[in-house]
Structure 1
Amino acid sequence: MEIALQHLASDYPLLNAFWTMCWFFLWILWFMLLFRIIVDIFRDSALNGWGKAGWLVFVVILPFLGVFVYLIARGSGMGERDLRQAQKSEEAFRSYVREAAGPPSTTDELARLAELKASGHITDEEYERAKAKILA
């Protein structure tokens, strides 16, 4: 067993191991890019069903050419679509947190008003009107 491992190690030098890792990394990178583009095709609401089907067939049948053409033709919009999706997710999260927390208490509102008055953002008159409105 030990002799077989030494023989295997001598037949597979360090540089070959390095190149194998590089090719493996590129293979994983290629699949990540391919899946990201497929997700982007389905996420894009500007494309109709036929457009999505056409891009998907192009990317699946001719993967290298399809991915590169997609990146050239629609690559700039990918970032914008990602940003919009992130903003929607964040707004949904904030809405959920506001809903779960319930309405702000009178004490919280008065403390916020006091901070605004102390920082000079509102005048004494505005403070008194807002305070009366909250306490009413």
Structure 2
Amino acid sequence: MTVSTLPQTFEPTLPLSELLTVVLITHNRPVFLRRALQYYRNLPCKVMVLDSSSERPEDDFSTVDYHHLPQIAYWGLQSKLTFGVERLTTPYMVFAADDDFLLHGALGEAVSFLEANHDYALCIGYTLMYLGLAGSVNYYRRDKKV
């Protein structure tokens, strides 16, 4: 397996806001959605919310592309994802659950890599999980403790 690295001088021709959409997926977790929107608020890209909650939260969603989809049950994830993909206006997208935190710099690097390497269709990074304890936090990279 060969790993390509991004040339140091490559800059995308368009701003990230025209290249990338973060598609946030949520279901009956308004607090998690609020926290995720707060986290992504300064990321210079589009944000689409696919919310299959039974009740629409009373939050202000004027800065994102919000879709309330109560007709799609919890188990209808594929339908929800298809709904979102059909409405994308950017060439690149990333799905994020309401409890995922995608690193802002990594998203920019991924888009830059894809723009520079048109023979690639997707990027994947490391997954970091955590376990919060009373006096500490343990972090895990995939199945390995780091």
TM range (shorter): under 0.3
Please identify the structure whose Cα radius of gyration is greater.
1
Relative contact order, CA 8 A, sep 6+: which one is greater? Answer: 2
Q: Which has the higher helix share?
A: 1
Q: What's the TM-score once normalised by structure 2's chain length?
A: 0.19
Larger strand fraction of residues = 2
TM-score under structure 1 normalisation?
Answer: 0.20
